[in-house]
Amino acid sequence: EQRAEAERQIRAEESVKPSSGVAGYDYTFSVPKSVSALWGVADAGTQALIVGAHHEAVAEVLDFMEREVVSTRRGVAAGNGAVMQADVIGVAATAYDHWDSRLGDPQLHTHVVISNKVKTTEDGRWRSLDGTAMYEANVPISEHYNAVLADRLTRLFGIEWEQRERGAERNAAWELAPVPETLIREFSSRSSHIDKEKDRLIAEYVDLTGRRPSSAKIIQLRAKATLATRPEKEIHSLLDLTTQWRERAQKILGRGAVDWAKEATAPSRARPTLRADDVPLDAITEVGVSVVGAVEEKRSTWKHWNLWAEASRETMGWRFASADDREAVVGMIVEAAKQESLTITPPDLVTVPEVFRRADGTSRFRPRHGVVFTSETLLAAEDRLLARAEDMTAPELDLDVIEGVTRKEHLLSAEQSETLAGIAVSGRQVDLLVGPAGAGKTTAMHALKTAWVKAHGKGSV
């Protein structure tokens, strides 16, 4: 009765409060599909061992987050709110285990809901989490979890991992080597539904625009497809689910699923795991260079967490003796990558008093891991673009050609016609056409192409 009354009172109080701010952050730690498939059909003892490894990996990653990611802010500047990052004691979180996907396939995952309220170490006051760091570290946390879990399962069963392609539009995935792709596909109904809807949305986009969407747009379409195909959740007991999964797996494997899982997890001679000091420094430097090369293919600038995510991907094939060893090696690779990068964040112009510094000497008035980097390669590319934009020797078009096309063949607005006219006579080797979505950029470019071909001949574009 006391609990029911307390809940009633809390609901009454919360219902009259304005809805503002963030209550918490939901992190979903989901094992790779091959692990879910193996866990789903294994005997109860093996299932418990895999779940235990998953829980321990989640705990190790949360510990990493508390040390490297989580902070709050204190101190007030005029109009700017809290401006100085402060350390916290830790996070308060609760975890919910889920066994299956919305379509009833095995999908071992845990939702970890982290409270937005944290206690500051300096004065013991409760403050809100600094959300920026939580978002920036989202992908690296995911990559770190995948790697820590892989290490644990290899140490537990001696099981090997391999990288498998997932098509041009998705990153390659690391899966357990003994788990066949046919079994993964059998237990990927949700992904299959999402992919079908995504393909339909892509085809619709091509019909509408006349071109294939960019990689960023495809990610948006996949997110839209995920929501559009999301069925209601149905609750089933793990016993019922496991029974169904074993029956489905037996048809794919051609044998008893439990016996297959026992063989796959039977202790074997796995290659020895690495300690941090087993990795030579020249290998650290080499991977650091590779990390920068991969990051600069996708970004013009990057920060610490972008490098960490890529370093985790590039070391996913290495098996470590502990999470601490992995963390140490990835940290060294990130530092090597920073040495290969160019720092473009300006230095502090004043000496920061000791009371306002972190243990590593950095200023608390700057976000931790907030330094921005780029590379010589990218700056050289920018120089080439700027030089071409300033080169006024490029071919031009007569305005009467543009006017003829925009009035007779492509009906454009006055603003579109004026913009094209500016490009046609600029003489620059590189020009930019900038506008918001739906402003008619693609339509305008079609008109420019038509005019260009009229003046310079077929195949000149």
Closest CA to 199 of 230, 182, 224, 232: 224
Average of per-residue pLDDT across 384-412: 85
Half-sphere exposure of 454 (CA within 13 A, CB side): 18
Rg (alpha carbons) of the chain, rounded to whole number: 28
Q: What value does the mean pLDDT of the chain take?
A: 89
Q: What are phi and psi of 270, to 5 degrees?
A: -75, 155
CA atoms within 13 A on the CB side of 406: 20
- The answer on pLDDT for 58 being more than 60 is yes
Position with higher pLDDT, 169 vs 453: 453
pLDDT in the model for residue 300: 94
Report the alpha-carbon distance of residue 405 to residue 366 in Å, rounded. Answer: 54
Say how far apart CA 351 and CA 247 lie, in whole Å.
68
Q: What is the pLDDT of residues 114-138, one digit of tens each?
A: 999 999 998 899 999 988 888 999 9
CA dist 376 → 10, 53, 282, 292 (Å): 57, 42, 22, 11
Which residues pair with residue 72 across a beta bridge?
Answer: 86, 129
- Is the pLDDT at 170 greater than 70? The verdict is no
Residue 89 in contact with residue 121, Cβ under 8 Å?
A: yes
Q: Which residue in 287, 309, 47, 304 sits closest to 157, CA to CA?
A: 47
pLDDT tier at 190 (50, 70, 90 boundaries)?
low
SS3 407: helix
- Residue 380 structure tokens: 């050289």
pLDDT of 250 over the 90 cut: yes
User: Which residues have C-beta within 8 Å of that of residue 261, sequence separation ≥ 6?
Assistant: 38, 41, 42, 43, 46
151 against 436, higher pLDDT: 151
Please state, for a pLDDT cut of 70, what percent of the chain lies above it. Answer: 96
| pLDDT for residue 210 is more than 80 | no
| Mean of pLDDT values over 207-220 | 78
| Amino acid, res. 120 | T
State which of 16-25, 106-115, 400-409 shows the largest mean pLDDT: 106-115
pLDDT at 168: 66
Q: Write down the pLDDT at residue 434.
A: 85
* DSSP structure class, residue 346: P
pLDDT one-digit tens code per residue, 82-103: 688 889 999 999 999 999 988 8
pLDDT of residue 19: 66
For residue 99, what are the CA distances in angstroms to 227, 274, 341? 20, 32, 43
